[in-house]
């Protein structure tokens, strides 16, 4: 395996851990805070995390070259975050996290079109298997009565946004620094969420402030490490496939933090997804 690929996988492993931890926090926060308020305040705290570095650099981190792509990143980011939080609120953490592993499948179909990277034939088989695995998880025996609940609907919506984000960030790394991409993510998410949260705007109380701050910092660091993974790696497909590592964190948190018990369909589907993503990741040897 190439050194650049190995480095990219390491950065992606860190990124997935950071993002899954903040997703677990956000799921708990949905019990007491409006979703748009979560989006707003999480990004406010994320921006506050960047502020000392912005001041130290005399705000040079705000300079952007590709304004249109930054705006597109903002639109996709807002769509991905709001829809995924809706999914977390309405579905089990393990089920939602497992289905989200379909993002590599969607991204793989976009890569040859938008980034002009060749996708080997064997990877096409891999992605078909991923789809079958998602069907196992979604329509498992214990989920038949709720197979079309809001959680599943919103996680599928978020997957398309997230697949687009991988492509957009890969393109942005050609002209923008990781820091600039991450700072503008927070700024634009605040701008997008403010109109929606204005009606129900309420300052978080008690420990919720602390948890939102932690979530904001985790998301900020997750964005930086994801951008670094895509920057150092030669192929986007390999990096996106290595994001299967998030399932490890999702599985552990769902059991030990949310006390969820996976059923046979979820286990089979998740194992297939992990296996095919490992195959896709090592295809770049």
DSSP state string for 59-73: TGGG--S-HHHHHHH
Specify the pLDDT at position 134: 67
The tens-digit pLDDT sequence of the chain (285 residues) is 567 677 777 888 888 899 999 999 999 999 999 999 999 999 999 999 999 989 998 888 889 888 999 999 999 999 999 999 999 998 888 888 877 777 766 776 676 666 666 666 666 676 677 667 766 666 664 444 555 577 788 988 998 898 888 888 888 888 888 889 889 989 999 999 998 888 778 888 889 999 999 999 999 898 888 888 877 766 665 656 556 677 788 888 988 888 887 777 777 777 777 777 676 666 555
Q: Give the separation between CA 100 and CA 280, rounded to whole angstroms.
A: 16
Least Cα distance to 94 among 269, 212, 219 occurs for 269
At residue 144, the pLDDT reads 47
HSE at residue 49, side-chain half, CA atoms within 13 A, is 25
Q: What token pair was written down for 189?
A: 């998410």
CA angle 83/89/94 to nearest 5° reads: 95
DSSP 3-state of 261:
coil
Chain centroid, CA 176 distance in Å: 20
pTM of the model: 0.82
Can you give the pLDDT at residue 137?
A: 67
pLDDT of residue 283: 59
Residue 141 confidence (pLDDT): 47
Q: What is the pLDDT of residue 89?
A: 92
Axis-axis angle for helices 207-232, 3-29 (nearest 10): 160
Within 10 A of 13 (CB to CB), how many other CB atoms are there?
18
Candidates 42, 84, 74, 98; CA nearest to 267 is 98
Enclosing domain of residue 278: 3-282
Beta-carbon contacts of residue 179 (< 8 Å; ≥ 6 apart)? 50, 53, 61, 224
Q: How many domains does the chain have?
A: 1
């Amino acid at each position: 395996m190439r050194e650049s690929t190995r480095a990219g996988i390491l950065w992606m492993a860190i990124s997935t851990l950071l993002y899954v931890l903040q997703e677990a926090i956000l799921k708990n926060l949905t019990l007491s805070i409006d979703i748009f308020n979560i989006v707003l305040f999480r990004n406010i705290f994320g921006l506050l995390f960047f502020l000392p570095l912005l001041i130290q650099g005399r705000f040079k981190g705000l300079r952007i070259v590709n304004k249109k792509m930054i705006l597109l990143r903002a639109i996709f980011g807002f769509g991905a975050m709001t829809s995924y939080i809706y999914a977390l609120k309405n579905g089990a953490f393990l089920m939602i996290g497992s289905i989200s592993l379909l993002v590599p499948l969607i991204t793989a179909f976009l890569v040859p079109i938008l980034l002009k990277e060749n996708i080997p034939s064997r990877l096409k088989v891999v992605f078909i298997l991923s789809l079958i695995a998602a069907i196992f998880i979604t329509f498992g025996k214990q989920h038949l009565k709720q197979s079309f609940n809001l959680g599943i609907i919103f996680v599928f919506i978020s997957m398309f946004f997230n697949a687009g984000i991988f492509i957009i960030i890969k393109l942005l790394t050609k002209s923008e620094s990781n820091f600039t991409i991450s700072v503008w993510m927070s700024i634009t998410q605040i701008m997008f969420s403010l109109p929606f949260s204005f009606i129900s705007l309420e300052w978080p109380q008690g420990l919720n402030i602390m948890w939102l701050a932690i979530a904001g910092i985790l998301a900020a660091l997750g964005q930086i490490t994801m951008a670094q993974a895509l920057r150092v790696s030669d192929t986007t497909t390999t990096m996106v496939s290595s994001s299967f590592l998030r399932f490890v964190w999702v599985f552990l948190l769902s059991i030990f933090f949310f006390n969820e018990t996976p059923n046979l369909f979820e286990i089979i589907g998740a194992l297939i997804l992990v296996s095919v993503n490992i195959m896709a990741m090592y295809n770049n040897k």
